[in-house]
Structure 1
């Protein structure tokens, strides 16, 4: 979950994570991750602390924060807690993440950005193999993924690793992938998760266009009336 959070905030890349995963023991994996984080960009420390809080290691995170404050009392934080996303505000004693300016997201990268930002949530909320298999079936039917791609997903040992492998693939696919994935979520009973992805999409690009869908019918054009929706698509898929 810590690695998922670092991936979702673009602190590490998939290639870096593979370097960590090949290590034999848990301690060696942690050492490899720390070696990578020590060389990463400004803000890495804060995002790592946030990940610690999210997995229940508040005491460890507080020790790191205290160390940082002893090194640089002027270090600026944003308030976070284990139940919510970071929000701006004064340091009130809670574990916090560093204030950062988020660059504008290009249209062609927006869907990948949405997958990355919601990576932890997606992994945690798809809780059974049957749902994942139905999602994959829908993605195959809509030609978002290929059988070869899915073979690389199915060889993973755990459900969480399979979901992570699928997200790695979807982040690199064509425009419209996010909408088809959302439609698959609705059809497997994950409407709330789909709504979270839609909210992220709208925050990244308010002009993003959707088609109305529901869990019982094919997508049809029409105004957004509050139902879970999928993006209007044109052109040939890859």
Structure 2
């Protein structure tokens, strides 16, 4: 990773300085040349943004910024309180000092410029704050222009370190948001970093691309090596697929949350292996339908394909064709690499999912709609597969389908003996003998295994 400063620009794009020279090679500090007149009048009249104050704090030594703050009217007690509240983190103290001046005294670049001049300190530090850095990146453009996926942010968060505050400000979060995150995830740096990254990505005022993230790391002097390492093996088509799925859902989110009943859609998704029985429990533990729908959308966004296509098909099958049509995308928008086709070349043993569970779940919809559960539950109690209390839980369902769901969900948590006893119970009634054979002989492909394995990770 290398960075190059090409221009020093004001907020409106005015070229303040073109040529920079190294005036102290030992410290590698950059300074305007002798002809630089500093910021323009228009730039001086501006109130610094939080990001600009962060950059100024990074470029000022502690004692210099302390003296500047006092010179501009801040009381010594404020500085002392900040040092006490943030022991060992002088960077945050420096930044919050400037924020205090901005919020309480509404300082503009004019006051900062005047203060530096009166202290006989170069005002070209303000030029450095306003300049635009151009990053020369070794990350391919088709990756840089994509929005980072959950997996990328999850892998990146532990590598960032103790720069939560600086990164959050550089990415546009407010001080209040960052303080709330730090309080919520006290002493857990990885969780704090992760929350900052996800909060930034959620705001689409500016497209939250990997390029923006790389620039932020460079601006706060972190460097982007950790980001480069995380994305080195990422397929750009996969990232584009995530964007397609996320954008389609965001555009229709309110309709989905407010309009649909998801019980049958969950049955459909269970049968196609894109959610697990535990996923379903986590979704249905939410009291309100809106919250259940939100929980399902979170899973669909995270799982991508084939969960997204199965979800769309479920909407179409159960009365929500208009929404399904709006969510549908053309197959060429999604690269085959974003699906689980590659699993066809891998052995079943590579996926730690019992075959009987896959067979049972692939017949989920048929089981819950076709069987009368009473005699089957009696057999399973007699065989010690389920308890009497389990039988009562099964009976707590309000409809025959709900009771069958309760039964099938329990079986998916049992071992293979439970599965075999279930087949025996079905075969006791000639009506269900064909169903038992169908379940037992259900083909299980590597893609089936990979799909369900993805739910269980």
Pairwise CA distance, 1:24: 3.9
Equivalent position of 1:204 in the other structure = 444
Q: Aligned to 1:47, which of 310, 330, 336?
A: 310
1:169 aligns with 2:410: yes
Q: Secondary structure at the match of 2:386?
A: coil
Q: Secondary structure at the match of 2:440?
A: helix
Equivalent position of 1:195 in the other structure = 437
Q: Aligned to 1:122, which of 367, 382, 401?
A: 367
Pairwise CA distance, 1:160: 1.7
Deviation readout 1:96-148 (Å, 9 max, x if unpaired) = xx67445654597111111111111111112xxxx311001111222222223
Please identify, of 99-108 and 29-38, the stretch whose mean Cα deviation from structure 2 is larger. 99-108
Equivalent position of 2:334 in the other structure = 75
Pairwise CA distance, 1:76: 5.8
Equivalent position of 1:135 in the other structure = 376
Equivalent position of 2:76 in the other structure = none
- Change in Cα spacing, 1:117 to 1:104, as seen in structure 2 (3 Å) is farther
- Change in Cα spacing, 1:173 to 1:45, as seen in structure 2 (3 Å) is same
Question: In structure 2, how many angstroms separate the alpha carbons of the residues matched to 1:52 and 1:117?
Answer: 19
Equivalent position of 2:426 in the other structure = 185
- Change in Cα spacing, 1:105 to 1:124, as seen in structure 2 (3 Å) is farther
Question: In structure 2, how many angstroms separate the alpha carbons of the residues matched to 1:14 and 1:178?
Answer: 15
Structure exhibiting the larger radius of gyration computed from Cα positions:
2
Pairwise CA distance, 1:41: 4.2
1:12 aligns with 2:12: no
Question: In structure 2, how many angstroms separate the alpha carbons of the residues matched to 1:174 and 1:19?
Answer: 21
1:144 aligns with 2:407: no
Please identify, of 159-168 and 184-193, the stretch whose mean Cα deviation from structure 2 is larger. 184-193
Question: In structure 2, how many angstroms separate the alpha carbons of the residues matched to 1:187 and 1:46?
Answer: 38
Question: In structure 2, how many angstroms separate the alpha carbons of the residues matched to 1:146 and 1:60?
Answer: 42
Question: In structure 1, how many angstroms separate the alpha carbons of the residues matched to 2:417 and 2:282?
Answer: 31
Comparing both chains, which one has the higher relative contact order based on Cα–Cα distances under 8 Å and sequence gaps of 6 or more? 1
Pairwise CA distance, 1:178: 2.6
- Change in Cα spacing, 1:74 to 1:40, as seen in structure 2 (3 Å) is closer
**Do 1:76 and 1:99's aligned partners in 2 also have CA atoms closer than 8 Å?**
no
Question: In structure 2, how many angstroms separate the alpha carbons of the residues matched to 1:76 and 1:54?
Answer: 25
Equivalent position of 2:398 in the other structure = 157
Question: In structure 2, how many angstroms separate the alpha carbons of the residues matched to 1:74 and 1:136?
Answer: 47
Equivalent position of 1:234 in the other structure = none
* Structure 2 segments unaligned to the other structure (5+ residues): 1-263, 446-457
1:26 aligns with 2:289: yes
> How high is the TM-score relative to the length of structure 2?
0.34
Pairwise CA distance, 1:179: 2.8
- Change in Cα spacing, 1:145 to 1:104, as seen in structure 2 (3 Å) is farther
Number of aligned pairs?
A: 175
**Do 1:11 and 1:41's aligned partners in 2 also have CA atoms closer than 8 Å?**
no
Q: Secondary structure at the match of 2:441?
A: helix
Question: In structure 2, how many angstroms separate the alpha carbons of the residues matched to 1:134 and 1:26?
Answer: 33
- Change in Cα spacing, 1:104 to 1:63, as seen in structure 2 (3 Å) is farther
